Amino acid sequence: MSEANPPSLREKPIHLTLIRHGTAHDADRDSDRALTPGGRREVARVGRGLLRTGTRFDVVVSSPLVRAVQTAEIVIARLDHAGQVVVDRCLEPERSPRAVIEFVRALAPARRIALVAHEPILSSLAGLLLGRPLGRGLLKGEALRIRLAQGLDRPGQWRWSIDPVAGKRKHPASS
């Protein structure tokens, strides 16, 4: 049995939702940038869109940057998520997507995971998880669902994304 893929990660698919923070104000320090009123509306629409899809999370992890934490809090409020937002530096913009994969691996037995972060780490992470480049960055406020049927060591499938303007689910061909 491989250490890289313990039994707990092979039993059921992992449903990973990548969420980019909403539009934020300018600030002297990047880490202090808070969501604008429009950014709050974007992520509230995405939260409602996630609710309509029946999405639930075992764990929600956010970058420590203010705009990402605010995004995570707004989304989980829409979903009536009982847990707290876990904040981890592995989701900061300049971090390694491979480090995020190892962090997610350590979240087992969680199967339904939301990661709230930034570009370019989210599109780079999506590319690694899909086994091919995403071909674009995530829009501010967008949520993208990846299903990993065989754990984190095999390519996953891009299931859908939720547009931050309409708050509606779109499938990859139309994303």
pLDDT given at position 81: 86
| 47: phi then psi, degrees, rounded to nearest 5 | -60, -45
Question: Can you say whether residue 84 is alpha, beta or left, with left for phi > 0 and alpha for psi between -120 and 50 degrees?
Answer: beta
Tokens of 12: 């059921």
Per-residue pLDDT of the chain (175 residues; tens, 9 = 90+): 445 555 544 568 999 999 999 999 998 888 889 999 999 999 999 999 999 999 999 999 999 999 999 999 999 999 988 889 999 999 999 999 999 999 999 998 999 999 999 999 999 999 999 999 999 999 999 999 999 999 899 999 999 999 999 888 998 865 5
Alpha carbon dihedral 80, 86, 91, 96, in 10-degree steps, equals -130
Neighbour tally for 73: CB within 10 Å: 18
pLDDT given at position 9: 45
Tokens of 20: 């980019």
pTM of the model: 0.91
pLDDT given at position 75: 96
Which class is 15-174 in CATH? Answer: alpha beta
